[in-house]
Amino acid sequence: MALSSPFLWFLGLLVSLCWCWGTTLASEAKVGYGYRMTSLEESTFNGGSLIGYLKVKQSTSKYGPDIPNLRLFVKHENQDRLRVHITDADNPRWEVPYNLLPRAPPPPLTENLKTSSHFSAPSYPGSNLIFTFEPDPFYFAVTRKSTGETIFNTSGFDFVFKDQYIQISTQLPKTASLYGLGENTQPGGIRLRPNDPYTLYTTDISAINLNTDLYGSHPIYMDLRNNGGRVSAHGVLLLNSNGMDVFYKGTSLTYKIIGGLLDFYFFSGPSPLDVVDQYTTLIGRPAAMPYWALGFHQCRWGYKNLSVVEGVVEGYKKANIPLDVIWNDDDHMDAAKDFTLDPINYPRPKLLEFLDRIHSEGMHYIVLIDPGIAVNSSYGVYQRGMQKDVFIKLEGQPYLAQVWPGPVYFPDYLNPNGVSWWVDEISRFHQLVPVDGLWIDMNEASNFCTGKCVIPTTHQCPEPNSTTPWVCCLDCKNLTNTRWDNPPYKINASGKSAPLGYNTIATSATHYDGVLEYNAHSLYGFSQAIATHKALLGLDGKRPFILSRSSFVGSGSYAAHWTGDNKGTWEDLKYSISTMLNFGLFGMPMVGSDICGFYPAAVPLEELCNRWIELGAFYPFSRDHANFASPRQELYQWDSVAKSARNALGLRYKLLPYLYTLIYEAHLTGAPVARPVFYSFPEFTSSYGLSTQFLLGSGVMVSPVLEQGATSVKAMFPPGSWYNLFDMTKAVISKDASLVTLDAPLNEVNVHVYQGMVLPMQRGGVISKEARQTPFTLVIAFPYGTDGAEANGKVYVDDDERPEMILVEGEATYVEFEASVKGKTVTVTSNVQMGKYSLSKGLMIEKMSVLGLQGKGKELAIEVDGTALVNTTSVYFNHVGEVQEEVEGGSKKGMLVEVGGLELPLGKSFSLSWKMEIVS
Ligand SMILES: *[C@@H]1O[C@H](CO)[C@@H](O)[C@H](O)[C@H]1NC(C)=O
Ligand SMILES: *[C@@H]1O[C@H](CO)[C@@H](O)[C@H](O)[C@H]1NC(C)=O
Ligand SMILES: *[C@@H]1O[C@H](CO)[C@@H](O)[C@H](O)[C@H]1NC(C)=O
Ligand SMILES: *[C@@H]1O[C@H](CO)[C@@H](O)[C@H](O)[C@H]1NC(C)=O
Ligand SMILES: *[C@@H]1O[C@H](CO)[C@@H](O)[C@H](O)[C@H]1NC(C)=O
Ligand SMILES: *[C@@H]1O[C@H](CO)[C@@H](O)[C@H](O)[C@H]1NC(C)=O
Ligand SMILES: *[C@@H]1O[C@H](CO)[C@@H](O)[C@H](O)[C@H]1NC(C)=O
């Protein structure tokens, strides 16, 4: 990362001075004058690409001298993905390490495989995207081949490339809807709002801070456009781990980045799901999740001892509320030290007894760990870390910080020794306590102190029995004397242009191989998740479960995410939807917010908690978590909340096979579990900003109450038939974007299934292990009263112990269902791709619940494996509800036709058919 020569520095200074003299002194000095292209060649590198060189037009001194020569590398990596990589032509620069996020490297700077010279970019016949440029001043644009539409165009804006300041912009049409650029709590909803700040830099700032650089960094956006009915979406990733401000002004978007290089990836879509598919093809597919992780989770910081934890499990049991996973924050630890147990409050023999008991019932246990390792010479984890020299350093010494245990050092997960030491510590811990997953917190990394610190000589740190362990007690001095601690351009860090090292690792600290914290800062949680994943895989080969607070591009392949420290407010309830939906786009679909809020509620909690579990029961990751200062908020604490929980979680546990199939789909194609409505209905423009409702998969709509005191909810439904999953005789027949008023008494939430779906459900239960063995019902939703309609669905099941979710005969089952109604004949068939696993488990389908039909069923015929079933004495028709009773607005009463008493083995091909007879 060499600076330009002093000579150029001096020149740059002169130039900018001259410029100032020549214009009005009041105007701010120009940051850069752009580049001109000096050559462009087609290269044979990696199967065909373009390599060009750019020369700075005129240097300035603002934010440091310009890099004089740049190299441009353009590659159509596949038909949907175009990469534009721009870096210093003379010196290697920092970029996201290729071993951390595996992808094709660009050619080395010495690459010189000329075949022919061009001054216009050749087009690649197979590609959906076209790269164009102008040489002087250099700009580039990307267009969509099929429509000629420009999706990115850097013309008309300053293009600046300095060591610690890179600026580039694109034009945008006013009509573009943008999504992404997180992690960020967005009061305006999922669609990015022009002029809101978007700063990306991983920071321990609680989620109650709006429009601020929160825990994760995801420099990806999706751009959705509807040009007179022609709808298309594309994605733009700027793969860069340095801090950046992104300014979205409505008709332009500008990146201001404080290091690294430009590595753009354009994804052609054209559907929103295509964009996520193409994005996760590059960054890694979302991790497989164990089945039990889809159950309900309970946690609290402040479960003082094991008896309290046992009481919580008991409380759920007594109230008959589902609970799969019980968690400890740091209460189980000895003085907040990772991988230890508090011998008094969590004595190991008692804890092991407890774990034996809950494990035998099918429950699971997860605990928290933080990256900070207590500096304590009698602590084995620390001793072994020192021995292996695994900690991040400042001026040659391990970097001293303060977190919960007091003074700590931070492991360096970019150091291979750091990773192997971490893997070993987790394995040792697992022998101490057989935990089922790990929660990696505070990994932005969070530090209660700032700067360069030493252990004080004048007072104890931490103070014994401190009631404010989060107040810095080390002796610290601010670091301002390096260009890493004090870069020329200040991003809006912590929402207040804080120094980069504010409450984190000093940015002049170094990792393995001299890597600067300045560059690698936002990769910390990501690198920790990779190391932790490796450790868990190595234990007993079971599918890992990791929950991480900090995240980066690619984290979703290793970990789930919760949205961090929120608060018990109605606003936070609402904001949780947008953040959850964003993480779907970020390739991290296993996500949810702390149900009922983490920080003590600002309003009476009971009503809010009712509404929160009604929404949170449909977060992909569903966990109630609270702060020690909050009143107890386990779902059984209030009768009303318990009732709402049994209702909403009751439905979740019936939907587990659907949710698990969605996890499989996510793992295969990146498709998020919770999706914005426009993912399934891209033509339905009214849904582009819809952030108060969402879909699970392609067509299960959740319409929660988000307002205090409300007993109804106004919801939007794309045209078609939507059936209430709690009372399937209630239907919404929507024609347009007008809002439908749905009843929503305190204990009820509205969840609807869309026409065309076959939804695999089971009987449910209070623990997923048992729920998943119960018989299946297929809910088949036809458009209301339409002949000639079809519905489709699928189900994936496996043992959830194998790390991968793949189709291996005998270990997984995948079945597709098709249903149709034609000329009053209803047919339901299964298409088995792999069946042995579910057959060996004895999984059965007991019922079809068919929606949208009119009349009564008769003349049922069933075939299993091509043979007609003769004895159907146990099979019955059940007809619930009336035909076509108009209620109000778009709501109607419809009919539910049940075919019950079935015993169809899941995993055998079958076909059912019957006739519908209209009775007047
Ligand atoms: C990019 O913008 C410039 C300036 O507005 C315009 O002349 C050029 O045609 C645009 N290029 C594309 C591909 O849209
Ligand atoms: C556990 O903590 C609770 C609440 O602080 C307390 O009432 C109880 O006595 C403790 N039990 C044990 C066994 O320490
Ligand atoms: C170091 O850890 C031990 C137990 O692991 C504890 O007893 C001791 O108080 C700790 N020392 C300091 C200085 O925190
Ligand atoms: C800290 O708390 C422990 C247990 O509550 C107590 O035994 C000890 O005396 C306290 N130490 C100080 C210095 O207050
Ligand atoms: C260090 O910097 C912070 C943030 O700019 C400031 O609030 C604090 O007073 C400074 N501390 C010292 C010791 O200079
Ligand atoms: C920095 O972010 C905060 C929080 O969103 C915002 O209020 C402030 O206006 C931003 N400052 C700048 C200079 O953009
Ligand atoms: C038909 O099945 C029912 C239960 O499904 C069983 O009780 C009955 O014995 C069977 N009849 C014959 C003839 O197999």
What is the DSSP code string of 239-270?
---S-EEEEE-SSEEEEEESSS-EEEEEE--S
- Angle of the 605-616 helix axis to the 570-585 helix axis, nearest 10: 20
For residue 117, name the pLDDT band (cuts at 50, 70, 90).
low
The two counts, helices (H) then strands (E), for the chain are 14, 55
Residue 892 has what pLDDT?
61
CA of 872 to the centre of ligand 7 (A): 8
> Residue with the nearest Cα to atom 9 of ligand 5?
478
Domain identity same for 531 and 554: yes
Radius of gyration of the chain (CA): 29
Confidence of residue 300 (pLDDT cuts 50, 70, 90): very high
Does residue 382's CB lie within 6 angstroms of at least one atom of ligand 3? no
Decide whether any atom of ligand 3 lies within 6 Å of the 266 Cβ: no
Q: Is 339 in the pocket of ligand 3 (CB under 6 A)?
A: no
- The ligand 6 atom at the shortest distance from the C-alpha of residue 245 is 14
Are 519 and 483 within 8 A, CB to CB? no
DSSP string, 315-357: HHHHHT----EEEESSTTSSTT-TT---TTTS-HHHHHHHHHH
- CA-based nearest residue to 696, from 828, 591, 849, 814: 591
Specify the ligand 1 atom closest to the Cα of 150: 14
Dump pLDDT digits (tens) for 830-884: 999 999 999 999 999 999 999 999 889 999 999 999 999 988 899 999 998 865 5
**Cβ atoms 909, 742 nearer than 8 A:** no
Is the pLDDT assigned to residue 48 strictly greater than 80? no
The tens digit of pLDDT for each residue in 604-628 reads 999 999 999 999 999 999 999 999 9
Cα of 903 vs centre of ligand 7, distance in Å, is 12
The rounded distance, in Å, linking the Cα atoms of 416 and 390 is 9
pLDDT band at 70 (very low <50, low <70, confident <90, very high): very high
Give the residue carrying structure tokens 């018989």: 775
| Ligand 4 near 464 CB (within 6 A) | yes
Residue that is written with structure tokens 């964009």 in the block: 275
Q: In what order do the strands lie in the sheet with 700-703?
A: 674-675, 694-696, 700-703, 750-754, 720-724, 730-734, 891-893, 885-888
Where residue 735 falls (left for φ over 0; alpha for ψ -120 to 50; beta otherwise) is: alpha
Q: For position 24, what pLDDT does the model report?
A: 38
Do 233 and 331 belong together in one domain?
no
Residues 198 and 261 in one domain: yes
pLDDT, residue 125, reads 75
Most informative mutation of 198, 254, 492, 575 for ligand 6 (most atoms within 8 A of CB): 492
Closest ligand 5 atom to Cα of 502: 4
252 and 338 in a single domain? The answer is: no
* pLDDT value of residue 90: 96
Q: Provide the percentage of residues in the chain whose pLDDT is more than 90.
A: 89
Both 131 and 276 in one domain: the answer is yes
Distance 464 CA to ligand 4 centre (A): 7
Of 587, 609, 590, 670, the C-alpha closest to 218 is: 587
Is a pLDDT exceeding 60 seen at residue 53? yes
Top pLDDT among 123 and 371 is at 371
More confident residue, 894 or 507: 507
Kindly state the helix (H) or strand (E) to which residue 177 belongs, with its residue range. strand 177-182
Of 441, 594, 665, 798, the active-site residue reads 441
Average pLDDT (641-663) is 98
As a whole number, mean pLDDT of residues 798-818 equals 94
What residue type is assigned to position 658 of the chain? Y
Q: Does the beta carbon of 173 sit less than 6 angstroms from any atom of ligand 1? A: no
Whose C-alpha lies nearest to ligand 6, atom 2? 495
For residue 472, being part of any structural domain is answered with: no
Q: For residue 208, is it within any domain?
A: yes
Beta-strand (E) ranges in 739-775? 740-743, 750-754, 758-762
Q: Is 308 in the pocket of ligand 2 (CB under 6 A)?
A: yes
Which residue is closest in CA terms to ligand 1's atom 13? 141
Closest CA to 783 of 746, 753, 814, 827: 753
Cα 498 from chain centroid (whole Å): 26
Q: Which residues are CB-contacts of 629 (< 8 A; sequence separation ≥ 6)?
A: 302, 599, 600
Indicate whether 376 belongs to any domain. yes
831 in Cβ contact with 909 (< 8 Å) = yes
Nearest protein CA to atom 8 of ligand 4, as residue: 465
Among residues 329, 338, 565, 572, the one annotated as catalytic is 565
Q: Does one domain contain both 182 and 312?
A: no
> Which ligand 1 atom sits nearest the alpha carbon of residue 155?
2
* Res 442 pLDDT > 70: yes
The residue whose CA has the least distance to atom 10 of ligand 3 is: 376
The pTM assigned to this predicted structure is 0.95
* 43 compared with 801, residue with greater pLDDT: 801
H/E run at residue 497: none
**271: how many CB neighbours lie within 10 A of its CB?**
16
Q: Which residues form the pocket of ligand 6, taking CB atoms under 6 Å from any ligand atom?
A: 197, 211-212, 492, 495
Residue at which a domain ends, from 229, 259, 283 = 283
| pLDDT at residue 404, rounded to an integer | 97
In this structure, what token pair is assigned to residue 395?
A: 């001026």
Rounded distance, CA 682 to CA 583, Å?
19
Amino acid sitting at position 299: C
The answer, yes or no, to whether the previous bond of 589 is cis (omega within 30 of 0) is no
Q: What is the CATH number of the domain that holds 360?
A: 3.20.20.80
Which is more confident, 7 or 410?
Answer: 410
Any atom of ligand 4 within 6 Å of the Cβ of 343: no
For residue 135, what pLDDT is reported? Answer: 95
452 CB-side CA count, 13 A? 14
Beta pairing, strands 776-781 & 844-851: parallel
* 465 C-beta closer than 6 A to ligand 4: yes
Peptide bond into 744 cis (omega under 30): no
Ligand sitting nearest the alpha carbon of 170: 1
Nearest CA to ligand 4 atom 3: 465
Q: Which of 378, 383, 400, 460 to mutate to test the pocket of ligand 3 (most atoms within 8 A of CB)?
A: 378
For the Cβ of 679 lying below 6 angstroms from any atom of ligand 3, the answer is no
In sequence order, the 6+-apart residues with CB closer than 8 A to the CB of 735 are 719, 890
- Which ligand approaches the C-alpha of residue 154 most closely? 1
Bridge-partner residues for 754, per DSSP?
722
Burial zone of 904 (CB within 10 Å; 0-12 exposed, 13-18 middle, 19+ buried) = buried
DSSP state letters, 508-537: T-B-GGG-BHHHHGGGHHHHHHHHHHHHHH
Judgement on whether residues 636 and 557 belong to the same structural domain of the protein: yes
Strand 197-200 relative to strand 885-888: parallel, antiparallel, unpaired? unpaired
Give tens-digit pLDDT for 692-708. Answer: 999 999 999 999 999 99
In a domain, 774, yes or no: yes
Q: Which two tokens stand for residue 455?
A: 């252990």
Residue 539 lies in a domain: yes
pLDDT for the residue 19: 35
Say which residue, 1 or 279, is predicted with more confidence: 279
Any ligand 1 atom below 6 A from CB of 569: no
| The token pair that represents 202 in the structure block | 């991983």
Task: Indicate the residue among 262, 283, 304 that finishes a domain.
Answer: 283
Q: How many CB atoms lie within 10 A of CB 732?
A: 25
Residue 6: band (very low, low, confident or very high) from pLDDT cuts 50, 70, 90: very low
Contact 390, 468 (CB under 8 A): no
The residue range of the domain holding 271 is: 35-100+111-283
At 17 the pLDDT is 35
Q: What's the pLDDT at 481?
A: 87
> Quick one: pLDDT at residue 480?
87
Respond yes or no: is residue 223 known to be catalytic: no
| Same domain as 763, residue 640 | no
Which of 704, 686, 705 lies closest to 694, judged by CA?
704
Q: Is residue 679 part of a domain?
A: no
CB-CB contact of 30 with 158 (8 Å): yes
As a whole number of angstroms, the distance between CA 868 and CA 865 comes to 8
Helix ranges restricted to H, 493-596: 517-520, 524-540, 570-585
Residues 262, 335 share a domain: no
Q: How many domains does the chain have?
A: 3
Which atom, in ligand 4's list, is nearest to the CA of 465?
1
Evaluate: CB of 27 within 6 angstroms of ligand 3.
no
For 411, counting Cβ atoms within 10 Å of its Cβ (0-12 exposed, 13-18 middle, 19+ buried), the class is buried
726-to-493, 527, 744, 898 alpha-carbon distances in Å = 46, 43, 12, 15
pLDDT of 9 strictly over 60: no
How far does residue 395's CA lie from ligand 5's centre (Å)? 20
880 vs 883: CA distance, rounded Å: 9
- In this structure, which ligand is nearest to the CA of 480? 5
Give residue for tokens 């309290």: 308
Structural domain contains residue 913: yes
CB atoms within 10 A of CB 747: 16
Nearest CA to ligand 6 atom 7: 495
Sign of the torsion formed by the C-alpha atoms of 542, 545, 550 and 551: positive
> Is the pLDDT reported for residue 780 higher than 90?
yes
Q: Give the integer Cα–Cα distance in Å for 191 and 309.
A: 41
Selection from 617, 899, 659, 653 nearest residue 777 by Cα: 899
Pairing of strands 622-624, 296-298: parallel
Q: How far is the CA of 865 from the centre of ligand 7 (A)?
A: 19
Distance (Å) from CA 327 to ligand 4 centroid: 27
Active site residue 594: no
Do 57 and 137 meet the contact criterion of CB atoms below 8 Å apart? yes
Catalytic residue among 444, 607, 634, 798: 444
pLDDT tens profile 576-593 = 999 999 999 999 999 999
* pLDDT tier, 918 (very low <50, low <70, confident <90, very high otherwise): confident
Residue 738 forms part of a structural domain? no
Per-residue pLDDT of 332-376, as tens digits, reads 999 999 999 999 999 999 999 999 999 999 999 999 999 999 999
> Encoding tokens for residue 269?
């879509």
Q: How large a percentage of the chain has pLDDT more than 70?
A: 94
CATH of the domain at 137: 2.60.40.1760
Q: Determine whether the shortest distance from the Cβ of 155 to ligand 1 is under 6 A.
A: yes
* Cβ of 304 less than 6 Å from ligand 2: yes
Catalytic residue at 441? Answer: yes
- In 620-772, DSSP assigns E strands to 622-624, 674-675, 694-696, 700-703, 712-715, 720-724, 730-734, 740-743, 750-754, 758-762
Ligand 6 centre from 492 Cα, in Å?
Answer: 6
Residue 76 burial by Cβ neighbours in a 10 Å radius (0-12, 13-18, 19+): buried
- Measuring from atom 14 of ligand 5, which residue has the nearest CA? 478
Would you say 672 and 679 are in contact if contact means Cβ atoms under 8 Å apart?
Answer: yes
Judgement on whether residues 140 and 258 belong to the same structural domain of the protein: yes
| Residues paired with 771 in a beta bridge | none
Sheet holding 244-248, edge to edge: 160-162, 165-171, 252-257, 244-248, 197-200
In ligand 2, which atom is closest to the CA atom of 305? 1
Span from the CA of 871 to the centroid of ligand 7 (angstroms)? 6
Residues 279 and 296 in one domain: no
774 and 838 part of one domain: yes
Nearest CA to ligand 3 atom 6: 378
Q: Are 580 and 587 within 8 A, CB to CB?
A: no
* Residue 835 belongs to domain with CATH number: 2.60.40.1180
Ligand 4, atom 10, lies closest to the CA of 465
Cβ neighbours, 10 Å, residue 314: 11
C-alpha torsion sign, points 603, 608, 613, 619: negative
- Judged by its nearest atom, the ligand closest to the C-alpha of residue 347 is 2
CA 383 to centroid of ligand 3, rounded, Å: 13
pLDDT, averaged across the chain: 93
